[in-house]
Amino acid sequence: MTLMIPFDNSYARLPDSFFARQAPVPVRAPQLIAFNNDLAQILRISPGDVPEMAETFAGNTLPDGAEPIAQLYSGHQFGNYNPQLGDGRAVLLGETVGADGLRRDIQLKGSGPTPFSRQGDGRAWLGPVLREYVVSEAMHALGIPTTRALAAVETGEVVRREEPMPGAVLTRVAQSHLRVGTFQVFAARGQMDSLHRLTEYAIERHYPGADGPMGLLRGVVQSQAELIAGWMSVGFIHGVMNTDNCSIAGETIDYGPCAFMDSYHPNTVFSSIDRMGRYAYSNQPDIAVWNVAQLATSLIQQMKDKDAAVEEATEIVHAMPDLLQKNWLRRFRAKIGLTTEDKGDEALISDLLTRMAQNQADFTNTFRALGGDKARDQFLNPEAFDEWSDGWQARLSQEGDPVATMTAANPAFIPRNHRVEQMIEAAVQGDYTPFHRLNTVLAQPYEDQPEADDLTRPPTKSEVVHATFCGT
Ligand code: AMP
Ligand code: MG
């Protein structure tokens, strides 16, 4: 068997100012950890034998048709503008048009230094590669837009972090790697031709039919509002919502110090570098609006009538909080079993969340248990749940089959942070059983899987992960 990837590379045909041509840097002794056959089928990739795939997805051999490039972008990191970021540890091999007609990027992450590496080594260690593999595939199975994982390899090399760690490369698949920061870099440099070309490209690829830069902005507002509501509904905290990690296609991208909440609290932060809580759970909708406002600011630069453009962009961005709220309400209504709308619903949901926060209720398990009679057990003081439940039951009497609605909206399984950490620790010791088990169970998050009951359990005191370090 020979690995075959049907490349059709549109980004590499854009002007040279958009990227640097950069081949992946070979590694010493690649070993294939995982290859995602289901995803490969969608991409119309025919798998090769294991050694060949290890070589390819480590970047040691270039598959036919690949045109490796490191993409240029900039972005706001924790609110401060960094004029040049770019792919410092990744190369885009190229794109394929899948069996579903969708064009997708195939990128190697951890593939060695590029002109954008700055002080970095261009590499990734095994931990963040496996984290991204498991969490992005789990996100997909949860039904939330995300980049995906096609393959993971160990490099056979050591990367120096706080301690020496095994190196690895992730093959990431995305509807594109266009970010808010891709627009910011040309706008900040005053490169209007490039900005204009990029805008056209993004419209054609992601929002066909959108009317110019403001049409694109409307599209991104919609898809980001949809995405963030999805995150909120499963208790996901991205951790680094910088503008360079904000996808124009509306996918979850760049899984670094991200995690799903165990016990619910709106101020939850995981990332060790987020000391101010800028990217805390409940701030995510506001930050998404802020990020889209940066896109608006960049897009406006190319408009002839600036005053009119500012007015239109302001109106579009100002409409986003309402849209977020609508999407949030739709998601959370389903989580408590509602398909109809009542003006008291928002207060009903907020009341439940407040009680959950006061009672350290597990986010995932509480919602999942609403379909049975055990939800009250999730509360330090179960009566706090009972008080809420009376009003809820009254409201539910207007519904047909609330249990089915809830089962479809409330996963039993999320990639709990302590399980992800345990999986990484095992893999570093050479044991990939937990990695494969997590992938198998998390592929069906809405199904009860009694044999995997241990994976629904929140961490014990000693298992709690206190900070998740940046994925570098
Ligand atoms: P991230 O935190 O993954 O969104 O990355 C932010 C920026 O830092 C991007 O431009 C990355 O390419 C770059 N970067 C992160 N880690 C490394 C590394 N090990 N070597 C080179 N560049 C890196
Ligand atoms: Mg990034």
Query: What is the 102 CA–ligand 1 centroid distance (Å)?
Result: 27
461 domain-assigned = no
Query: What is the 472 CA–ligand 1 centroid distance (Å)?
Result: 7
Structural domain count of the chain: 2
Task: Verify whether residue 377 is a known catalytic residue.
Answer: no
pLDDT classification of 58: cutoffs 50, 70, 90: very high
Q: Which of 87, 244, 254, 362 is catalytic?
A: 244
Q: Which atom of ligand 1 is the closest one to the Cα of 77?
A: 6
The pLDDT value recorded for residue 202 is 98
Report residues whose beta carbon is within 6 angstroms of any ligand 1 atom.
85-89, 116-117, 120-123, 240, 244-245, 254, 256, 471-472
The pLDDT value recorded for residue 26 is 98
Q: What percent of the chain lies above the pLDDT cut of 90?
A: 96
The burial of 1, by beta-carbon neighbours within 10 Å (0-12 exposed, 13-18 middle, 19 or more buried), is given as: exposed
- Domain end marker among 354, 378, 409: 409
pLDDT classification of 270: cutoffs 50, 70, 90: confident
244 domain-assigned = no
Does position 411 have pLDDT exceeding 60, yes or no? yes
Place of tokens 């706080």: 162
- Phi then psi for 2, rounded to 5 degrees? -120, 135
32 domain-assigned = yes
- Domain end marker among 149, 174, 199: 174
As a whole number, mean pLDDT of residues 397-415 equals 96
462 domain-assigned = no
DSSP conformational letter for 446: T
Distances (CA, A) of 163 to 8, 111, 159, 167: 40, 20, 8, 12
180 domain-assigned = no
- Domain end marker among 389, 409, 429: 409
The pLDDT value recorded for residue 469 is 60
Query: What is the 117 CA–ligand 2 centroid distance (Å)?
Result: 12
The pLDDT value recorded for residue 465 is 87
Per-residue pLDDT tens for 353-387?
999 999 999 999 999 999 999 999 999 999 999 99
Range of the domain at 362: 330-409
The pLDDT value recorded for residue 190 is 98
297 domain-assigned = no
pLDDT classification of 69: cutoffs 50, 70, 90: very high
The pLDDT value recorded for residue 468 is 65
316 domain-assigned = no
221 domain-assigned = no
User: How far is the C-alpha of 406 from the C-alpha of 232, rounded, in Å?
Assistant: 16
- Phi then psi for 150, rounded to 5 degrees? -95, -35
Q: Which atom of ligand 1 is the closest one to the Cα of 121?
A: 20
